[in-house]
Amino acid sequence: MSTLKKKVAVIGAGASGLTAIKCCLDEGLEPVCFERANYISGLWHYTDYVEEGQACVMKSTVINTSKEMMCYSDYPIPADYPIFMHNKYVDKYFHLYADEFGLKKYINMNTEVHSIKQSDDYKKSGKWEIVTSSKSAPEKKTHTFDFVLICTGHHADKNVPNFVGLDKFKGKVTHTHDYKDYHGYEDKNVLIIGIGNSGGDVATEISRISAQTYISTRSGAWIWNRISDGGNPVDMSISIRAPFAIAKKFPWLFAKITANKLNARFDHKKYSLQPEFNPMACHPTVNDELPNRIAAGSVKIKANVKEFTENGAIFEDGTEITDLDAVVLATGYIFGFPFLDKNVIDVKDNKVNLYQYMYPPDLDHKTLAVIGCFQPWGAIMPISEMQCRLATRVFMDKIKLPDSTTMWKDIEYKHVQNTQRYNESKRHTIQVDYITIMDELAEHIGCKPDLKTLLLTDPKLAMECLFGPCTPYQYRLQGPGKWKGARESILTQWERTYKPLQTRPCKVREEQSIGMLYVIVVALIAVIVYIIFL
């Protein structure tokens, strides 16, 4: 019997590609990673220059997810790193991860993938042919691999809407893909089109130095703050199993409570931001500054653009700006896989048919998977890692996936669910809930935490898993890939969260403590409710 390791091509060395390499190694596979840039970390590695087809954060970007929710499940982010990290810390963490597990030696930098196609004997072997070239050796090379993991993400080509008159506008027009920092916008009148996370970040940054900043939005937006009640990270406050299970049973009630909560911070209607849909019907826009910038008058909210003039814009509500200097298109991205035959995966209008957002359902062999092609309520890194854990075990014949018919039913069901829940938009075609997708993938792998058993064997840990944030460590407690540090990481996650804030001693007045009996009673009631609705 052959002792040669089976080879896996990993396309991309960003957040998904790095964990793909590690998961291959964990399963005894041989990864070969192709990265078109000369660096790892993907869009989280900031560069001063623009690369077409290569997404990049702006210089001031801070991630919207807290460090405990975004880390890989067996490698906590250092305790002294900020709760919400600037892009340089995210990049640093990826390097720490790559160095810890020896991943960099498997990465071929400056290597472009031109095509991926089924090998001549694919029907029998399931193998793939990949054509690449590198900057140091531009002649094309053909490689044969047993398996392929496509980790190129969904921030690829710019989505540039065809606005009437935009080609005649005399000012500067930039897409957020190409935006680096505020330089060049000083004392200018600037219009941002789009109010997603990039649009909000650009608007708040530019508004501090521009003459006037405007945001044009077709539908409005619900604005979330990174920090929730008590100074807790918002994602750690809402990504909790017990309330999430109840929210799934009563989505209308949860949406109403959430809308009231967001409006308690500031009334979205007063600030001309109120959408016609509820907060759970759109991807969250996370921005701590926007309400303050609107209140200060430096940002003004406008309706959707009807058309551009040579020096301004006319909006659908009949209002007009006549002295615009610049336009920034925060209109998102169009994702696809140009190196892959459309018979394998075909993307139309940002819609793609993939089982678990990974597998083309009609392939004869499940030897190719897409990683990270989704947009989560939460962090992408742990979900990508879970997809890689599943894919590599499928490659090793340790997991059998359902047949094509079952896959199609699941794909169509999720399309229907998303259509019914979300406001119609290209950005919502691959939207997923963090806990839902993590649990689904974990069920395939066999690493979903058994909370009923934990309640009997380790009640302290079970309570933290039920009523604390659903951090990635939960998926290393049991089953394949079990990690001995998972329990301790869960029980100390709040300590790591607040460690970077402890920069001076504070004398705090003792508050009246809540009786222990009351805590126990409330906890027992919550457990009973959770079990009933689960």
312-332 tens-digit pLDDT: 999 999 999 999 999 999 998
CA distance 126 to 389: 20
In one-letter notation, the amino acid at residue 487 is R
Among 245, 256, 279, 229, which residue's Cα sits nearest to residue 435? 245
First to last CA, the chain: 47
User: What does the alpha-carbon distance between residue 230 and residue 34 come to, in Å, rounded to a whole number?
Assistant: 44
SS3 212: strand
State how far the Cα of 334 lies from the Cα of 399, in Å rounded to an integer: 32
- Sign of the C-alpha dihedral computed for residues 234, 239, 243 and 246 taken in this order: positive
pLDDT, position 300 = 98
Tokens matching residue 55: 């997404």
Three-class SS string for 370-425? Answer: ECCCCEEECCCHHHHHHHHHHHHHHHCCCCCCCCHHHHHHHHHHHHHHHHHHCCCC
In the structure encoding, which two tokens stand for residue 278, read together?
A: 């509820």
Tokens of 73: 């499940």
Angle at 333 between CA 191 and CA 288, to 5 degrees: 55
93: left (phi over 0), alpha (psi -120 to 50) or beta: alpha
| Residue indicated by tokens 């974990």 | 442
**Is the Cβ–Cβ distance between 206 and 182 less than 8 Å?**
yes
**Would you say 357 and 387 are in contact if contact means Cβ atoms under 8 Å apart?**
yes
Res 531: pLDDT: 59
- DSSP secondary structure code for residue 222 in this structure: P
What distance in Å separates the CA atoms of residue 316 and residue 303, rounded to the nearest whole number? 6
Q: Map tokens 């879970």 to a residue.
A: 386
- The SS3 of residue 527 is helix
Instruction: Tell me, rounded to whole angstroms, the distance of Cα 531 from its chain centroid.
Output: 29
* DSSP designation for 279: G
Burial 424-447 (b: 16+ CB within 10 A, else e): ebebbbbbbbbbebbbbbbebbeb
pLDDT at residue 2, as a whole number:
53
Global model pTM greater than 0.85 = yes
CA distance 127 to 310: 55
Measure Cα distances from 522 to 85, 114, 311 in Å.
34, 59, 62
C-alpha of 102 from chain center: 25
CA distance 41 to 18: 8
The confidence score (pLDDT) of residue 497 equals: 97
> Would you state the pLDDT for residue 99?
98
Q: What are phi and psi of 385, to 5 degrees?
A: -60, -45
Tell me the C-alpha distance between 223 and 265, whole Å: 10
For 151-188, strand residue ranges (E) read 157-158, 172-175
Residues of the chain with confidence (pLDDT) below 50: 1, 512-513
Is the CA virtual torsion 381, 382, 387, 388 positive or negative?
positive
Closest CA to 175 of 330, 53, 48, 335: 330
Q: Tally Cβ neighbours within 10 Å of residue 241.
A: 20
pLDDT digits (tens, 9 = 90+) for 94-136: 999 999 999 999 999 999 999 999 999 999 999 999 999 998 8
Q: Which amino acid is at 498?
A: Y
Q: How far apart are CA 75 and CA 96, in angstroms?
A: 9
